[in-house]
Amino acid sequence: MWPNGSAPGSCFRPTNITLEERRLIASPWFAASFCLVGLASNLLALRVLAGARQGSSQARSSFLTFLCGLVLTDFMGLLSTGAVVVAQHAALFDWRAVDPRCRLCRFFGVIMVFFGLSPLLLGAAMASERYLGITRPFSRPAAASQRRAWATVALVWAAALALGLLPLLGVGRYTVQYPGSWCFLTLGPGLGDVAFGLLFALLGGLSVALSFVLNTISVATLCRVYHGREAAQQRPRDCEVEMMAQLTGIMVVASVCWAPLLVFITQTVLRSPPAMSPTGQLSRATEKQLLIYLRVATWNQILDPWVYILFRRAVIRRLYPRLSARPRSLSLQPQLTRRPTMA
């Protein structure tokens, strides 16, 4: 049996990989290029966001606050995890020798869970904000929307951090994963490992599902307003089409990138007989699958900023010129004859 709890060496499992195999799998140039592209993409998105916030409406300002939180999360996630991975790939250090008490491994596991779950939770929060803004525009005070958005972002970060700290409190474990260059939750049969794995996967899956449901309702509402009998007076503004296009793109990217990993974690921890042996060893096929799905999920941090950059009004107008020709006649003020449908 391998050590449990917070004992020295509790994050190490048998992987049976040679140094030559690690050299073939762990390319420092690929890891460094991947991180640099992601960091540059997020920095570009932050620069565009800074310009877009000037003179924006209350509803759009709230949405841009969520986007800023999302881009900052992706940027810090790439920076913190990339620094460790690139260093490990370049030096090919023995994790057991460098980190015998597993402090670095636990830190790496916490930030992996935090920066992995935060974008999914933020996507659900953004979908909820747009759902209320479109279907119930006067259910919340407009003056407090931006302040409330930042409070929601902070709450999402706190929730993701709280989940990431659970293994440090005894619920689940962080262990070094194949090929020995990163740490993540343990796909073992123990009660704590199963509970933590399911909690991570189900919370991420529910966030994606909630985003899908709320975004579908919001898009359907916009389409109904656009094509309804009062379309000439109630057509959505350009910014509302832009926000929903960006939010839909973020949801699609998150679903494609994260769904394989979340499903794989759920299937593995619930597998019977257990995927992990009593000595803590996974089959090579399972370890490779986990590595592939993790790399796919990491693409979310690179693609998110490009969704915002490419789905702006200037780009949408080039693809759909009618948006720049139609009147902007939607009123956001209460009227005696009809109730506004969006904010």
DSSP-derived secondary structure letter, 175: E
Is 300 in a helix, a strand, or coil?
helix
Q: Read off the pLDDT of residues 8-26 as tens digits, 9 standing for 90 and up.
A: 557 888 877 777 777 777 7
Element (H, E) at 303: helix 284-310
> pTM of the predicted model, to two decimals?
0.85
Q: Which residue has the higher pLDDT, 94 or 271?
A: 271
- What average pLDDT score do residues 46-75 get? 81
Give the Cα separation of 179 and 88 in Å (integer).
11
Strands (E), 157-279: 174-177, 182-185
139, pLDDT greater than 70 = no
| pLDDT attached to residue 53 | 65
Q: Comparing 109-123, 128-142, 159-173, 204-218, which segment has the lowest mean pLDDT?
A: 128-142
| pLDDT attached to residue 340 | 45
Q: Read off the pLDDT of residues 231-260 as tens digits, 9 standing for 90 and up.
A: 444 444 567 777 888 889 999 999 999 999
Burial class (CB in 10 A: 0-12, 13-18, 19+), 172: buried
Tell me which residue of 235, 239, 251, 248 sits closest to 312, measured CA to CA. 239
Give the Cα separation of 286 and 26 in Å (integer).
18
341, pLDDT greater than 70 = no
Q: What is the separation of C-alpha 118 from the centre of its chain, rounded to a whole number of angstroms? A: 5
Give the Cα separation of 238 and 316 in Å (integer).
9
Q: Are 57 and 239 in contact (CB under 8 A)?
A: yes
| Side-chain-side CA neighbours of residue 161 (13 Å) | 8
Tell me which residue of 107, 235, 250, 242 sits closest to 182, measured CA to CA. 107
114, pLDDT greater than 60 = yes
Instruction: Say which residue the tokens 């970060």 belong to.
Output: 157
Q: Are 341 and 139 in contact (CB under 8 A)?
A: no
Q: Read off the pLDDT of residues 185-225 as tens digits, 9 standing for 90 and up.
A: 999 999 999 999 999 999 999 999 999 999 999 888 888 87
Share of the chain above pLDDT 90, in %: 46
